[in-house]
Structure 1
Amino acid sequence: MLHLASQSPRRRQLLQQLGVEFAVIEVEVPEHRAADELPLEYVRRVARDKAIVGLAAIAESAADAVVLGADTEVVLDGEVFGKPRDAGDAVAMLGRLSGRTHEVISAVWLVARDRELAAVSVSQVRFAALDASTIAAYVDTGESFGKAGGYAIQGRGAALVEHLAGSYSGVMGLPLFETARALREFAC
């Protein structure tokens, strides 16, 4: 049985698109990047940590369980943008992304008792040049909160995106192509 170790409603919706049956395990994993940790390594580690914690939570009740952990982060100039702490933080993030291209790294990690498999998607997202009133109006929608980089490409944040090269679903939080391929390899 597949289990999704995530609190994200977007990941649940995306995984449902693949038509696989799964249960949800809500996990709490610290998301703190080490000083010398590269953004890609950080995202992969957090995705793996979520899967491992999820597997540990159900290991006794589901010996044949497969757990999927995922993490998605916005990266600009080597800096990982987490989720904004408040409106001021969201405004600052969006201001820095304005008129620039950033990376969105999304990692998927599958674990079972005897094996692991990882997949990664890296997308390039270019924001249009945004003025202060556009940023403020977007932050006022409340959509910035709980989203890496302070925006939701699947919502009103789509109007901020001038160009996307890569995985739309990866930017949302779960790269479907990579996830489907990993699930096939894992025989889920």
Structure 2
Amino acid sequence: MTWDILNIIGTIAFAISGAMIAMEEDYDLLGISVLGLTTAFGGGMIRNVLIGIPVHTIWTQYHLFEIALLAIIVVFLLPNMVNRYWIKWGTFFDAIGLAAFSIQGANYAVQSGAPLSAVMIASTLTGVGGGLVRDILAGRKPMIFRSEVYAAWGVLTGLVVGLGWVHGTFEILLLLIVIVTLRMCSVIFKWNLPKHFRGKS
């Protein structure tokens, strides 16, 4: 039940994120819905393709699709209210989604017998793939490549799970708490990965 709740939180957070960006780009209701659903489920679809899970299995999560659509409709009907709460809590819920989906992706890859490198990639793409596709569809530079440390926490999650350091429910929840904490710290303290700075010609 705990895992289901975390998946629901992550799905809602990612769906709202996609819908909010679609509204900023002045999309219509169809565009808002597509971008919201893409953000919420795009990472899982990319993961399935990567590790050989039939893509159509994503449609078995019908209850999550219903929840995501409900969140998108709320954003469309009450944008000002949602934006007010999103500014305050959005990053935290997004961090939960990143951690939960990254762990889920890593576990799927491990269960499929994938090597460590594939586990790390599956973990990362499940956690950030939806946001990456969202930004591309919205014509924006992908946030994961230019904001505070983000995708790296998906890589770390895949490494920890792929090395077999996580087994039971307690260890999974502990890993989730650690990843959420690291993500929030990267936002609060503005941690960034090194960038290349061009000198003046």
* TM exceeding 0.5: no
- Of Structure 1 and Structure 2, which has the larger fraction of its residues in helix? 2
- TM-score, normalization by structure 1: 0.30
